Amino acid sequence: MLNIVLHEPEMPANTGNIGRTCVAAGARLHLIEPLGFKLNEKMLKRAGLDYWDKLDVIVYDDYADFQKKNPGAKIYMATTKAQKTYCDVSYEDDCYIMFGKESAGIPEEILVDNEETCIRIPMIGDIRSLNLSNSVAIVLYEALRQHNFETMNLEGHLHRLHWKSE
């Protein structure tokens, strides 16, 4: 199982969207407090639609609590400050992919301690960053692709309608 970690997320709509993506991808969501919203907030539930109750989510008091409860975890840090892109690494089955809060990203002191596992999404020009929920989807689905989308539905089915021509 892949793990998505949000370090102090601020916007309930982003976290709701990410929760929905985690349900669709079979990933666990880890939330590191403080959060910029309450978990029962309407915007969070609206963005997550009716998937929030299916979400495997764990909440931590702070980063130290997260580290204590996940000793030895392989954690990739998504940051615009990384030298490697998200496609340059091989994601382990049970790895963690961490994203920072919308306004500031992952704190510099955490990044410095984990520089070898920092990854970035390439962007053109002076763009500061992508939307958090988009960033999570991009990196999570690359990790899933590397594992051949195991246990996921790979085929869709069209419903053939009989159209009446006049």
Cβ atoms of 32 and 66 closer than 8 Å: yes
Determine whether the annotation assigns residue 129 to a binding site: yes
Determine whether the annotation assigns residue 156 to a binding site: no
Residue type, 146: Q
Place of tokens 């053939």: 160
Extended strands (E) in 88-139: 96-99, 118-120
Cβ atoms of 13 and 43 closer than 8 Å: yes
156's CB contacts (< 8 A; 6+ apart) are none
Q: Tell me the CB-side half-sphere exposure of residue 131, using CA atoms within 13 A.
A: 10
121-130: long-range pairs with CB below 8 Å, 24+? 121/78, 121/85, 121/86, 122/85, 123/80, 128/80, 129/80, 129/105
Determine whether the annotation assigns residue 36 to a binding site: no
Annotated binding-site ranges = 100, 121, 129
Residue positions forming the annotated binding site for S-adenosyl-L-methionine: 100, 121, 129
